[in-house]
Chains A and B, each alone.
Chain A
Amino acid sequence: MKKGKISILKHELVSKHEIIGEGEVKGLLNKYKIKKEQLPKIKSSDPVIKEIKAEVGDIVKITRRSRTAGKFLSYRLVIE
Chain B
Amino acid sequence: MRTKRIKGIKFGLLSPKEIRKMSAAKIVTADTYGEDGFPMEMGLVNQRIGVIDPGLRCKTCGGRMGECPGHFGHIELAAPVIHVGYAKLIYRMLSATCRKCGRVLQGCLFSVTDAEIERELNKRVISEKLRNAFKTKAYPLSSNADVTKEKDDKWVITDDKEKFIIRIVDGKLNIYDAVKVRKRILEEIEEQKKKQANVGEVVKQVFKEAAKTDVCMYCGERQKVIKYDKPTAYVEIDEEEKKRRLMPTDVRERLERIPDEDIALFGMDPKSARPEWMVLMVLPVPPVTARPSITLESGQRSEDDLTHKLVDIIRINQRFMENRDAGAPQLIIEDLWELLQYHVSTYFDNEIPRLPPARHRSGRPLKTMTQRLKGKEGRFRGSLSGKRVNFSARTVISPNPDIDIDEVGVPEEIAKELTITVNVTERNLKPIKATVRRGRKHPGANYVRRPDGKKVKVTEINYEALADEVDIGWAVERHIRDGDIVLFNRQPSLHRMSIMAHYVRVMPGKTFRLNPAVCPPYNADYDGDEMNLHVLQTEEARAEAKILMAVPQNIISPRFGRPIIGGIHDYVTGLFLLTRGEKKFEREEVLGVLRNIDIDDLGEPAGTFKSPSGIDIEVPYWTGKQIFGMILPKGLNLQFRGKIDDVIIREGELVSGVIDEMAIGSFKGRIIDRIFRQYGEEEAKRFIKDVSRLAINYILQAGFSFGISDEDIPREGKEQIREEAVHEAEKKVDELIRAYEAEELEALPGRALEETLELLIMQELGRARDDAGDIAEKYLGIENAGVLMAKSGARGSILNLTQMAACVGQQSVRGERIKRGYQGRTLPHFKPDDRSANAHGFVRSSFKDGLSPTEYFFHAVGGREALVDTAVRTSQSGYFQRRLINALQDLEVKNDGTVRETRDTIVQLKYGEDSADPSKGDYGKVIDIDEVIREAVGAEVGT
B906 contacts A39, CB within 8 Å? yes
Task: State in angstroms the CA–CA spacing of A73 and B906 once bound together.
Answer: 14
Binds B, one of A3-11, A19-27, A51-59, A61-69: A61-69
A40 contacts B906, CB within 8 Å? yes
From DSSP, what is the main secondary structure of chain A's interface residues? Answer: mixed
B913 contacts A66, CB within 8 Å? yes
Nearest CB of B to A71, in Å: 10
Q: Which of A38, A68, A69 contacts B906 (CB 8 A)?
A: A38
Task: State in angstroms the CA–CA spacing of A39 and B898 once bound together.
Answer: 11
Q: Please tell me if B916 contacts chain A, counting CB pairs below 8 Å.
A: yes
B916 contacts A68, CB within 8 Å? yes
A25-36 interface bits toward B, Cβ cutoff 8 Å, 1 = contact, 0 = none: 000000010100
A72 contacts B910, CB within 8 Å? yes
A75 contacts B905, CB within 8 Å? no
- Please name all residues of chain B whose beta carbon is closer than 8 Å to the beta carbon of A66 when the two chains form the complex: 913-914
Task: State in angstroms the CA–CA spacing of A40 and B899 once bound together.
Answer: 11
Q: Please tell me if A37 contacts chain B, counting CB pairs below 8 Å.
A: yes
From DSSP, what is the main secondary structure of chain B's interface residues? Answer: loop
B917-930 interface bits toward A, Cβ cutoff 8 Å, 1 = contact, 0 = none: 00001000110000
A72 contacts B914, CB within 8 Å? yes
Q: Please tell me if A45 contacts chain B, counting CB pairs below 8 Å.
A: no
The total of chain B residues at the interface (CB under 8 A) is 19
Closest to A72 in B: B913
Nearest CB of B to A72, in Å: 5
A38 contacts B916, CB within 8 Å? no
Q: Please tell me if B907 contacts chain A, counting CB pairs below 8 Å.
A: yes
Nearest CB of B to A55, in Å: 21
Given known A34-B904, A39-B906, A75-B909, contact A69–B914 (CB-CB < 8 A): yes
Given known A32-B898, A69-B913, A72-B913, contact A40–B907 (CB-CB < 8 A): yes
A32 contacts B896, CB within 8 Å? yes
A68 contacts B914, CB within 8 Å? yes
Closest to A75 in B: B909
Name, among B914, B915, B916, B921, the residue most crowded by chain A CB atoms within 10 Å (CB to CB).
B914
Nearest CB of B to A7, in Å: 25
Nearest CB of B to A9, in Å: 21
Name, among A32, A37, A39, the residue most crowded by chain B CB atoms within 10 Å (CB to CB).
A32
Task: State in angstroms the CA–CA spacing of A32 and B899 once bound together.
Answer: 11
B914 contacts A32, CB within 8 Å? no
Task: State in angstroms the CA–CA spacing of A38 and B898 once bound together.
Answer: 12
Task: State in angstroms the CA–CA spacing of A40 and B908 once bound together.
Answer: 8
Closest to B927 in A: A68
- Please name all residues of chain A whose beta carbon is closer than 8 Å to the beta carbon of B903 when the two chains form the complex: 38
Closest to B926 in A: A68
Task: State in angstroms the CA–CA spacing of A34 and B906 once bound together.
Answer: 9
Task: State in angstroms the CA–CA spacing of A5 and B915 once bound together.
Answer: 39
Closest to A64 in B: B913
A73 contacts B904, CB within 8 Å? no
Nearest CB of A to B910, in Å: 7
B905 contacts A37, CB within 8 Å? yes
B905 contacts A38, CB within 8 Å? yes
B892-904 interface bits toward A, Cβ cutoff 8 Å, 1 = contact, 0 = none: 0000101010011
Task: State in angstroms the CA–CA spacing of A66 and B903 once bound together.
Answer: 28
The total of chain A residues at the interface (CB under 8 A) is 14
Closest to A41 in B: B905
- Please name all residues of chain B whose beta carbon is closer than 8 Å to the beta carbon of A69 when the two chains form the complex: 910, 913-916, 926
Q: Which of B907, B908, B909, B925 contacts A68 (CB 8 A)?
A: B925
Task: State in angstroms the CA–CA spacing of A32 and B904 once bound together.
Answer: 11
Closest to A37 in B: B905
- Please name all residues of chain B whose beta carbon is closer than 8 Å to the beta carbon of A37 when the two chains form the complex: 905
Closest to A39 in B: B906
Task: State in angstroms the CA–CA spacing of A40 and B903 once bound together.
Answer: 12
- Please name all residues of chain B whose beta carbon is closer than 8 Å to the beta carbon of A68 when the two chains form the complex: 912-914, 916, 921, 925-926
Task: State in angstroms the CA–CA spacing of A39 and B899 once bound together.
Answer: 11
Closest to A62 in B: B909
Nearest CB of A to B592, in Å: 48
Nearest CB of B to A61, in Å: 11
Nearest CB of A to B909, in Å: 6
Nearest CB of B to A41, in Å: 9
- Please name all residues of chain A whose beta carbon is closer than 8 Å to the beta carbon of B925 when the two chains form the complex: 68
- Please name all residues of chain B whose beta carbon is closer than 8 Å to the beta carbon of A39 when the two chains form the complex: 905-906
- Please name all residues of chain A whose beta carbon is closer than 8 Å to the beta carbon of B907 when the two chains form the complex: 40
- Please name all residues of chain B whose beta carbon is closer than 8 Å to the beta carbon of A64 when the two chains form the complex: 913
Closest to A74 in B: B909
Task: State in angstroms the CA–CA spacing of A68 and B909 once bound together.
Answer: 15
Task: State in angstroms the CA–CA spacing of A72 and B915 once bound together.
Answer: 11
Task: State in angstroms the CA–CA spacing of A64 and B909 once bound together.
Answer: 13
Nearest CB of A to B92, in Å: 37
Q: Which of B896, B898, B909, B921 contacts A73 (CB 8 A)?
A: B909
Task: State in angstroms the CA–CA spacing of A40 and B904 once bound together.
Answer: 11
Nearest CB of A to B912, in Å: 8
Task: State in angstroms the CA–CA spacing of A72 and B914 once bound together.
Answer: 8
Nearest CB of B to A42, in Å: 13
- Please name all residues of chain A whose beta carbon is closer than 8 Å to the beta carbon of B910 when the two chains form the complex: 69, 72
Task: State in angstroms the CA–CA spacing of A37 and B903 once bound together.
Answer: 11
Task: State in angstroms the CA–CA spacing of A73 and B904 once bound together.
Answer: 19
Nearest CB of B to A77, in Å: 10
B904 contacts A38, CB within 8 Å? yes
Nearest CB of B to A69, in Å: 4
User: CB within 8 Å of A: which of B189-207?
Assistant: none
- Please name all residues of chain A whose beta carbon is closer than 8 Å to the beta carbon of B906 when the two chains form the complex: 32, 34, 38-40
Name, among B903, B909, B914, the residue most crowded by chain A CB atoms within 10 Å (CB to CB).
B909
Task: State in angstroms the CA–CA spacing of A2 and B246 once bound together.
Answer: 68
Closest to B912 in A: A68
Task: State in angstroms the CA–CA spacing of A74 and B909 once bound together.
Answer: 7
Closest to A73 in B: B909
Task: State in angstroms the CA–CA spacing of A40 and B925 once bound together.
Answer: 27
Task: State in angstroms the CA–CA spacing of A19 and B898 once bound together.
Answer: 22
- Please name all residues of chain A whose beta carbon is closer than 8 Å to the beta carbon of B904 when the two chains form the complex: 34, 38
- Please name all residues of chain A whose beta carbon is closer than 8 Å to the beta carbon of B921 when the two chains form the complex: 68
- Please name all residues of chain B whose beta carbon is closer than 8 Å to the beta carbon of A38 when the two chains form the complex: 900, 903-906
Nearest CB of B to A23, in Å: 19
Task: State in angstroms the CA–CA spacing of A43 and B274 once bound together.
Answer: 41
Task: State in angstroms the CA–CA spacing of A73 and B916 once bound together.
Answer: 16
Task: State in angstroms the CA–CA spacing of A40 and B905 once bound together.
Answer: 7
- Please name all residues of chain A whose beta carbon is closer than 8 Å to the beta carbon of B898 when the two chains form the complex: 32
Task: State in angstroms the CA–CA spacing of A72 and B900 once bound together.
Answer: 18
Task: State in angstroms the CA–CA spacing of A74 and B907 once bound together.
Answer: 10
Task: State in angstroms the CA–CA spacing of A12 and B578 once bound together.
Answer: 55
User: CB within 8 Å of A: which of B858-912?
Assistant: 896, 898, 900, 903-910, 912
- Please name all residues of chain A whose beta carbon is closer than 8 Å to the beta carbon of B915 when the two chains form the complex: 69
Name, among B913, B914, B915, B926, the residue most crowded by chain A CB atoms within 10 Å (CB to CB).
B913
Task: State in angstroms the CA–CA spacing of A23 and B916 once bound together.
Answer: 30
Task: State in angstroms the CA–CA spacing of A32 and B895 once bound together.
Answer: 11
Task: State in angstroms the CA–CA spacing of A64 and B905 once bound together.
Answer: 21
B26-62 interface bits toward A, Cβ cutoff 8 Å, 1 = contact, 0 = none: 0000000000000000000000000000000000000
Nearest CB of B to A15, in Å: 12
Nearest CB of A to B887, in Å: 16
Nearest CB of A to B780, in Å: 45
Task: State in angstroms the CA–CA spacing of A64 and B910 once bound together.
Answer: 13
Closest to A28 in B: B909
Nearest CB of B to A75, in Å: 7
Interface residues of A (CB under 8 A from B): 32, 34, 37-40, 64, 66, 68-69, 72-75
Interface residues of B (CB under 8 A from A): 896, 898, 900, 903-910, 912-916, 921, 925-926
6 interchain pairs, CB-CB under 8 A = A34-B906, A39-B905, A39-B906, A40-B906, A68-B912, A75-B909
Q: A38-B900, A40-B908 are in contact. List 19 more A-B contacts (CB 8 A).
A: A32-B906, A34-B904, A34-B906, A37-B905, A38-B904, A38-B905, A39-B906, A40-B907, A64-B913, A66-B914, A68-B912, A68-B916, A68-B926, A69-B910, A69-B915, A69-B916, A72-B910, A74-B913, A75-B909
Closest 9 CB pairs of A and B: A69-B914, A68-B914, A38-B905, A72-B913, A68-B926, A66-B913, A38-B906, A74-B909, A68-B916
